[in-house]
Structure 1
């Protein structure tokens, strides 16, 4: 990852205000397959968008899959030029605090080849859906998604419009993040609960659509094996989606506070709680929610704690923070919460080992993933 290059600010500053940004590249996938990447526009004609009444619910998905390796393939893009400013703004506590050009996120180098043909031996692949954190973006889980694809999974990371930093559709529309005034069905529950119900429905719809016979990768897929994982709010949504949709075989929550009806009903299928931050005495309700979910998980269940981790250690920020100079423009307490004390990139490695090993065990019949946990990980349940 050595080397630097200049990223032009474009309209957000004069050339003299450019900042030289180190090369930004995500860690290489660890599996045996090359990785391909495509996007998909998914429209749920049977569901009105609760944040945009009168329109069908639309989603955008980033798709990673085992691909045929070949010369001359063009790498995919992390995010588009249009979305890059929204991502950069999300990295900053105060607008402009980092001095990063607004095009910085579009320059992140990934390892998936755009529209690469599937690997010839890619057959019977399980599907894994990923859901990012609240007000984040689907590409933030690229390091995990690419790694799962290199291990033989079909992977889809979803943007949840109006709950994402921004979602760009094929016709050029961009739906920015916004807090809703209320849902179309008149729900008066808490704001997080409103997002949770919509996300869970998004995940269930996407699983059905991506597993259907009309989708392009259907010949590669084993529709009987599907996993779901998410970070933060996405982790809570993963559990709730499993409650609603028996088509999900296994699920994982990456440092998300669980809530929703799943705390009452529980689950009978394999579930992983991977915690990167210890219990906070200032927020006892989060500890109580985690304990409540744990008590109603009746299938194979695993709870792991990552020593030295932060809330964002499961995301791409873990690998990008160093080159971005994230520590310099982030409050020390906020930095510690976000990334903890792990060396840059180590959180991604740990996440790949834990989540990847979990899904290999429960979706492909692999070895007991607890036998190969990184040293920073403790089994707490």
Structure 2
């Protein structure tokens, strides 16, 4: 079988990457009682000065086995995801000519590692962003720390999930995101390029639980100026006073179109409380994992998700719309006006409730 490969980044910059260990000593781990601090692993992708050397590893063999076991993909070799070809160069120098770099926080779906958002992170970096993806420890199939420890998923597969549980997931992820921002913008950052980040140009996007957590993070941290929820049902977190920063809903048609059921109803509940610029878009033919690397990798492994369009096509759409959204609201760039993108992406349609306007201003 050919080596599974992520799609090439579409921007002009080569992509560098680095992983870092962070420890929040101000709080215990929310999930494991005998862990006295919150330990996190993050991956950063950034525009690099040059492209040379080996490519970054996607997952370790242990992480690959745990992720595939969690997805019940017994037909794929346990180490299959450790061979995925990425496009970023570990520890490559940051492009020296760049300053005031916008930063995008990425949060993966429940049980999923930060690696599944690599295609999004690499593409943003190739266009001059810094993207940082978070492993939310013990919610993830496996997180490997620099000292060799592996923190496995600790929350039990198949057990009942109450509304209180999911609220804890989303608000806990908001705390993780704020802590990561504190570290990157603080006096002793874990990455040498952090001094060139623009603290007033921060966005966040996530998939599934990570997308829903974006709302919680924006409510908790005003540094996050724009956010996107990709295919994740939400909790009733937005206060009656609303959330006035730009927000993008992007999800599956048939699941997140108005009237589709409980998941879409959560977006409909939140819609009037989003009082800034906003869009509600759905993609025809996509499945839940189509918006992540797992969709396009499943196609390469011969394990299609039942989607009517390829994982590569859905990833192309996801990259395009997220980048255009952040270009507009963090950079004031409108080379391709957001509302004109649909002409080249007929799978995407707007699903505004008829009695709610889309919202105006750009920031």
Task: Provide TM-score, normalisation by structure 2.
Answer: 0.89
Corresponding position of 2:184: 210
Distance change >3 Å, CA 263–CA 349, structure 1 → 2: farther
Cα displacement (A) at 1:263:
6.2
The separation in 2 between residues aligned to 1:247 and 1:44, in whole angstroms, is: 19
Q: 2:312 aligned to 323, 345, 354, which one? A: 345
Cα deviation per residue 1:83-104 (whole Å; 9 max; x = unaligned)? Answer: 12112223435xx2x1x22111
Corresponding position of 1:63: 44
Q: 1:364 aligned to 315, 331, 345, which one? A: 331
**2:18 is the counterpart of 1:38:** yes
Corresponding position of 2:145: 169
2:120 aligns to what SS in structure 1?
Answer: helix
Q: 1:306 aligned to 283, 301, 310, which one? A: 283
Q: How many residues align?
A: 340
Corresponding position of 2:355: none
Any unmatched runs of 5+ in structure 1?
A: 1-20, 181-187, 328-334
2:279 aligns to what SS in structure 1?
Answer: strand
Contact 1:168 1:175 in 2 (8 A): yes
Cα displacement (A) at 1:260:
4.0
The separation in 2 between residues aligned to 1:167 and 1:238, in whole angstroms, is: 21
**2:66 is the counterpart of 1:79:** no
Q: Please, what is the CA RMSD of the aligned residues?
A: 2.0
The separation in 2 between residues aligned to 1:259 and 1:110, in whole angstroms, is: 34
Corresponding position of 2:77: 101
The separation in 2 between residues aligned to 1:285 and 1:322, in whole angstroms, is: 29
Contact 1:124 1:220 in 2 (8 A): yes
Cα displacement (A) at 1:286:
1.9
Q: 1:127 aligned to 103, 108, 112, which one? A: 103
Corresponding position of 1:48: 28
1:63 aligns to what SS in structure 2?
Answer: strand
The separation in 1 between residues aligned to 2:223 and 2:323, in whole angstroms, is: 19
Cα deviation per residue 1:187-234 (whole Å; 9 max; x = unaligned)? Answer: x96221221121111111112212224222223211111001000000
Corresponding position of 1:198: 172
Any unmatched runs of 5+ in structure 2?
A: 157-161, 353-363
Task: Provide TM-score, normalisation by structure 1.
Answer: 0.85
The separation in 1 between residues aligned to 2:240 and 2:136, in whole angstroms, is: 25
